[in-house]
Structures are given as structure tokens and as C-alpha cells.
Amino acid sequence: MPTIIILQGQAQYEVARHFVASLSAVLSQSGTVNVVELDISRPENAEQALSQIQRQHTDIVFSVNAIGAELISALPAEARPRFITWLLDHPVYHFSRLMAATPEVLCVDNSHVGFCQRLGLSASFFPHATEQQMVVPTNLSQKQGILFAASGADETALLNQLSQQVPDIARLLTDSDTTDLIDVMQALQLDKVANNVLQQHSVISLLLLCDNLLRTIKRNRLIKECAEHNIALTIVGNGWQAGRCYDRHSYLPALSFSQLLPLMAQSRFILHHNPGFREGLHERIVYGLQQGTQVLCPQQAFLRAKYGQTGGVKLFDQVQQIRVLSEQAEDDYLSQLQQSQQLTQTCDTWSSRAQTLLNLCFSSEAPENYQSYV
């Protein structure tokens, strides 16, 4: 039986650990592979993991966000097992690890695939997933408010840092038409440069700064416009003490993923702003639906094609539309929620992702393509 070693490491808010544990459990239950889960969050554990990889016949090493890349790169080339990693963020956030071990990459957003390929990596689309069991609310009157889970940052400090390097790009990022790194790369004409230019650390560092600033600008603008339109949010996350608080909203500190899930279930809606995800899902969408809560998102072609206009993922062009979208009759809320939950159960569970991973690892069949997720 083939052996897959799954590496666990430190993760912000424990979210990646939750995903890895869920996927590992499904793979173990399949009975087709021997799954060994190793926690390398401590240095001594990493040394033990390296020893185990060396002495045990290992077919695949799998991790999230290229965790364990230093272990794989420490092995002689002829002794390295196949290394597959699933990136939950844009590849710029994990550039050093990716270059150290050159794994096969699974991208949570299809627009990230081409970027990985330009780094010289094999890459496939592998979107977010959730548990099979869906929560169906029994009493909507107990669900209150709009939950916005996101960290804040100091926009002024980031903007000053970027302005010192490339002032023209700093102005570009404040343009409402600039949505993600694809727009930035086109403006910098990085979509036309040779791949070895893109792979330079200075270029990657610039893109990383741009992405952090763009996320911050979009989040600040979103909560500001919600306050201006008397749309109250419950904002969960660190970093909102730096002058971006509005009396209309309530604020909670960052929570672990296990603590956030019941808060998702208690909310009437989850507000998600698609931070750099233009052709993919996000855990706030699939887990929001799984927890029995509708999700509000800015208009996006991928989500519109997947969920349609009458599902539990409500798309808006302008912030003021959120109020209308949130004033649904209970029957409409439940029927639309269940429509999207059924789609999630069919396409976006850990069981379906595990099968895709097994096909990729051990089958001559091609993994599920882009269209099968839409």
C-alpha cells in the first residue's frame, strides 16, 4: 500500500491544521493509502520527521503552504520522495520554500496556477473544501448580524513603504479598479518579462508588499462604506485598533478556527471580500455554507458561474446592496442556502478533494479540471 506522510506545522488561527487533519482523516478512511501524520511545529519534531522519511519507504510527502520544504531539500536528490504542497495563499507568500524544494503545487485559486508555472513549478487547481455534514438552521431568529472575519493592518505605514520604492504603483493600488496582483503585474508589465526576472527576490518582495497593501486598502474601504450605509458588522481579527474603527461596528479579537465556526453558525450572514481570489473559493465561503449561513461577496465571475444569482452566496456590486440582500424572507433564505449546500456536498467536500489528490498521486487519470469545480 502506498504511503503518504502528511506534515503538520504552525498555522495562523489553526486554520491550516484543521484542513490537513480533515483531509488526512478522509485519506485514512479510504483504505487505499497508508497515511502517516507528522507534526513538525517544533525543531525536534522536524528532526524526527526527517529521520522517519529517510528510513521509511515514503511515496508522497504532502503539506500545506510548503511546510517541510527545508526537510525535503536537505535530502539527497536521489532520496527525495515526491513532494506535493497545497498553497492556501498566493505563491508570493511562500516563495522561499517553493524555491528550496520545488514541489508539485496545488493552488487554491486557478489564477495562481500560471504564476507557479512561471516559477518553474508544476501546478494544478485544488480549491477549498469542507466537511460533508451540513448544518441546517432550525430557527433563523437566533441567527443575528453580519460577521466579517479579517485582520487589519496599518494602511498608512504600508503605503509609505511602497511610495518610497515605486510611487506610481502606490497610486495604482488606491485605484478602485485594481483588484489583485494580476492587475499589479500587468501594470508593471511583469506579465511580459522573462521568468527568471519574475523569480528575483526583489520582485517577489515588491509583489508581497503590494498584495498586503491591496488587501488592507480593500478591507478598510469595505468596513468604511458599510459604516456609512448603516450596515453593522461584527469584525473578528487583530489589527483594527490603528484608527480604522467605526462606532457602527463591533470588534472581537482574532479567534482560532474552531472558535470561529460557532460564530459563523450564529450569524445571519458572513461578509467575504475575496482577498486576491478571482478564480477560486475561500474557507469563509464553503465553511460558512457548511455552518448554515449565507455568504455575501463582491461580484466575481467565478462565484457567479458556480452559485448563480439565487443561491446562498449573494453577490453585490455596491456596498449599499448588502442591506437589500440581507432582508430576505425566511423561506427564501433557507431554500437558497440549501441549494448552495447541496452543491457543496456534491463538489466541495474533503472526500472529493481526497479523491482528486489520490488520482493525481497514483492514477494515470488527469485530476479534475477547472470546469468541474464551476
- Please state, in angstroms and as integers, the Cα–Cα distance from residue 266 to each residue in 14, 136, 138, 146, 248, following that order: 20, 12, 12, 10, 20
Query: What string of DSSP letters covers 110-167?
Result: THHHHHHHHTT--EEE----B-S-----S-GGG--SEEEE-----HHHHHHHHHHH-H
Interatomic CA distance for residues 320 and 222, integer angstroms: 11
Cell of 62: 504532502
Please give the single-letter amino acid code of residue 122.
Answer: S
pLDDT value of position 372: 44
Burial of 102 (0-12, 13-18, 19+ CB in 10 A): middle
pLDDT value of position 11: 72
Interatomic CA distance for residues 225 and 182, integer angstroms: 25
Interatomic CA distance for residues 235 and 148, integer angstroms: 5
Q: Check if the beta carbon of residue 99 is closer than 8 Å to that of residue 110.
A: no
Interatomic CA distance for residues 219 and 278, integer angstroms: 16
Tell me the backbone φ, ψ of residue 119, rounded to 5 degrees.
-85, 0
What's the number of CA atoms in the CB half-sphere (13 Å) around residue 275?
26
Model pTM score: 0.92
pLDDT value of position 374: 42
Angle between helices 350-362 and 15-30 (to 10 degrees): 70
Nearest to 280 by CA among 73, 107, 124: 107
Identify the H or E element spanning 236.
Answer: strand 234-236
pLDDT value of position 244: 61
Residue 250 DSSP SS3: strand
Nearest to 108 by CA among 83, 133, 86, 92: 86
DSSP-assigned beta bridge partners for residue 39: 8
Interatomic CA distance for residues 30 and 9, integer angstroms: 24
Split the chain (374 residues) into runs of 10 and give each run's mean pLDDT.
88 85 94 89 76 78 94 85 94 95 96 94 96 93 95 90 86 83 88 88 93 92 94 93 76 93 97 86 96 95 92 95 92 96 96 94 58 44
Interatomic CA distance for residues 268 and 246, integer angstroms: 21
DSSP 222: H
Residue 174 DSSP SS3: coil
